[in-house]
Structure 1
Amino acid sequence: MLRVGPAGYPPGSKGAVQAVERVKALGLNALEVQFGRGVNLNEERSRELGARARELDIALSAHAPYYINFNSTPEKVVKSHDWLMRALRSTDTMGGRIVVVHAASYMGRTSEQTTRKVIEALKQVRRQMEEEGLRPLIGLEAMGKISAWGTLREIAEVMDEVDGVEPVPDFGHIHARGQGCLKTKEDFQEALDGYLQLHPGRLHCHFSCIEYTDKGEKRHLLLETEEPDFALFAECVRDSGREFTIISETPAPSEDAARMRAMLA
């Protein structure tokens, strides 16, 4: 089954419950709750959100705080662990399937050194999740800045050693990091195949058009800019026969999610 929805509540939503109702009204069936600046849903509101989402068949996910960095000082790593755990607890309460995380920046270390730090940190997170009985998956996002950890190879290395982790390809980020590499359907297919081979189940994806520099991602752009062209990605998705959740991360995520849904029909 194909699921499409926005990153964050649709405009004008007065709270989480109304947000999923608006998502449904737009003809969409997924919502990624944004905890980028902190987990701001208490347990009661998380339960209410989850109950209404189940009634409306809206698949929930969440994005962990942006300031997580498992390749930082010991103090920051401890805080990052706590921030991710808070997001996982709230997502578990609402019945969300996956929490997406920006895991690290290189901070002058090599890819191998940074990957090892991420592995060590996520093993600790997974141990605590098991102790608390938390069910969400950890989604490692493909990152768009050259300075950010999160290539396909790096994510695969973590998945080899840590259970309960999935890749989250962000095709705007892949395009930016690759300096405009997604120009044709074949380009998209090659990028997508790497993630489909890595993960055989439902693939949770992000998509936005994007402006980039030689340092990678600069800012997200509307779908109409076609940089890269979502229509080419949509062809690959339709041809794959696989299950996808596609989250719109453009500056108008709800409106563009509805456009994506129409293009995928």
Structure 2
Amino acid sequence: MIRFGPAGIPLSCKGRTLKDGIEDVHNLSLSALEIQMVRAGAYPRPAEDEEVGLTIRDVEEDFVIEILRDGEPISDPEEPIEEEDDLLFMPSPVANTFGDLAGIGHMAQRLDVRLSIHTPYYMDLSGTDEELTYSCIDSIRHAGLILDALDGDIVVTSLGIYDENRPREEVEEQIYGNMGAIVDWWKGSGLKPRLGVEITGQQDVFGSLEQVLDLCTDVGDITPVINFSHQHSRTNGGLLETEDFLNLIEQVAPYCKGGIHTAFAGVEYTDGNETRLTPIKKGDLKFEPLAEALQEIRPDCTVISTSPLLEHDAMYMRIIQERVLTKKAAKDLKERRKSESAAASGE
């Protein structure tokens, strides 16, 4: 199945909650929604007396993401809160409380809307700024905990920028080490969503196609995420023909157990660097060749619209995909009837 959806709550949605967004996506005949963790900060506060003995699912005052006990985070949502604990809460959460997530996830499944989460767009696991790196690691962990509670599909993240004052090999070694630690924590916590690393759109940011695939191979338990706009920018307009998209998808597909996750938008770029995203109808990155490629290989695939038009371009892509399907079905029917006619006439 090929799913389409917006990166964030639809622009046309009257409500601004995640629940509203999921319902709106469904009503627009879309089937995916990528949650945007724009404000991912989390802060400690003492546990209240009435919260002792509860779990983070039971806390109704704040969106509590973890327990801090003796300075160490406890991520198990079944762990009872103790008297001396601090609670790590998110002031800009995706729901009112952590306990609300399960119900929202059930609603998404009932409406057949596949959920994913994108971590904050500025991420740096290179260790150049240790405090920032620790914060970014926490953002990835917290995205995993949230999406697991929602029973969603994949957490998408980028990993870091190169520092002109440090050798690239040193930066990459730090990124590999931090990702290895995150994967170990992910598996140890029993999180069900996949952990995805996307192709990035800047030459000074870790995340070329080759780097992402090497990371998936060397670290393991990481899924590559195709951001077509980023790849098109990095390759100075390298995605023009159906064969270009087929080649890219075929390289990534072996690493994508559970489906291929992608993002698409129009894009402007200079010297291998993305400058800005645009509506899909603008620029030289067209959806039609991708639609042809997807129709040819029929993967389990999600396409997230990161266009400024969000759901409008998600619906546009869905319509184009349906047209390609209809055209191919008509062609196949015509060829079959021609073959049957030839067989009947003894040719």
Tell me which interval the TM-score lies in, with the shorter structure as reference length: over 0.9
- 179 and 215 in structure 1: CA distance in 2 versus 1, 3 angstrom threshold: closer
- The aligned residue for residue 275 of structure 2 is 218
Q: Does 2:97 match 1:95?
A: no
The Cα shift of 1:241 comes to 2.4
| Aligned with 1:19 (options 8, 11, 21) | 21
The Cα shift of 1:262 comes to 1.1
1:3 partner amino acid: R
Superposition TM-score, scaled by structure 2 size: 0.72
The Cα shift of 1:59 comes to 0.6
- The aligned residue for residue 249 of structure 1 is 306
State the aligned residue count: 265
1:188 partner amino acid: F
SS in 2 for 1:105: coil
- Choose 66-75 or 19-28, whichever is displaced more: 66-75
| Aligned with 1:40 (options 93, 97, 105) | 93
- The aligned residue for residue 74 of structure 1 is 130
> Using the alignment, how far apart are the partners of 1:264 and 1:146 within structure 2?
31
Q: For each residue in 1:12-44, what CA deviation from the matched residue of structure 2 results, as whole angstroms up to 9, or x when unmatched?
A: 342111111110111111110111332622413
Provide the aligned C-alpha RMSD in A: 1.8
- The aligned residue for residue 151 of structure 1 is 208
SS in 1 for 2:124: coil
> Using the alignment, how far apart are the partners of 1:230 and 1:242 within structure 2?
16
- 113 and 189 in structure 1: CA distance in 2 versus 1, 3 angstrom threshold: farther
- The aligned residue for residue 52 of structure 1 is 107
- Choose 50-59 or 70-79, whichever is displaced more: 70-79
Q: Does 2:266 match 1:209?
A: yes
In 2, are the aligned partners of 1:144 and 1:216 still within 8 Å (CA)? yes
| Aligned with 2:220 (options 157, 160, 163) | 163
- 56 and 199 in structure 1: CA distance in 2 versus 1, 3 angstrom threshold: closer
1:167 partner amino acid: P
> Using the alignment, how far apart are the partners of 1:197 and 1:114 within structure 2?
27
In 2, are the aligned partners of 1:62 and 1:91 still within 8 Å (CA)? yes
> Using the alignment, how far apart are the partners of 2:188 and 2:104 within structure 1?
25
The Cα shift of 1:6 comes to 0.7
Select the structure with the greater relative contact order (CA < 8 A; seq sep ≥ 6). 1
- The aligned residue for residue 175 of structure 2 is 118
Q: Does 2:63 match 1:8?
A: no
In 2, are the aligned partners of 1:115 and 1:157 still within 8 Å (CA)? no
> Using the alignment, how far apart are the partners of 2:26 and 2:167 within structure 1?
44
Q: For each residue in 1:53-80, what CA deviation from the matched residue of structure 2 results, as whole angstroms up to 9, or x when unmatched?
A: 0110111000012232101322222111
> Using the alignment, how far apart are the partners of 2:207 and 2:243 within structure 1?
22
> Using the alignment, how far apart are the partners of 1:61 and 1:116 within structure 2?
28
The Cα shift of 1:117 comes to 1.9
In 1, are the aligned partners of 2:209 and 2:231 still within 8 Å (CA)? no
> Using the alignment, how far apart are the partners of 1:224 and 1:90 within structure 2?
34
Gap regions ≥5 residues in structure 1: none
In 2, are the aligned partners of 1:106 and 1:148 still within 8 Å (CA)? yes
- The aligned residue for residue 28 of structure 1 is 30
> Using the alignment, how far apart are the partners of 2:7 and 2:315 within structure 1?
12
SS in 2 for 1:252: coil
> Using the alignment, how far apart are the partners of 2:272 and 2:246 within structure 1?
24
- The aligned residue for residue 75 of structure 2 is none
- Choose 43-52 or 247-256, whichever is displaced more: 43-52
| Aligned with 2:316 (options 255, 259, 262) | 259
The Cα shift of 1:226 comes to 4.7
- The aligned residue for residue 176 of structure 1 is 233
- The aligned residue for residue 49 of structure 2 is none
In 1, are the aligned partners of 2:213 and 2:252 still within 8 Å (CA)? no
> Using the alignment, how far apart are the partners of 2:146 and 2:279 within structure 1?
30
In 2, are the aligned partners of 1:30 and 1:58 still within 8 Å (CA)? yes
- Choose 12-21 or 216-225, whichever is displaced more: 12-21
Between the aligned residues of both structures, percent identity stands at: 29
Whichever structure has more helix as a proportion of its residues is 1
- Choose 224-233 or 92-101, whichever is displaced more: 224-233
The Cα shift of 1:163 comes to 3.1
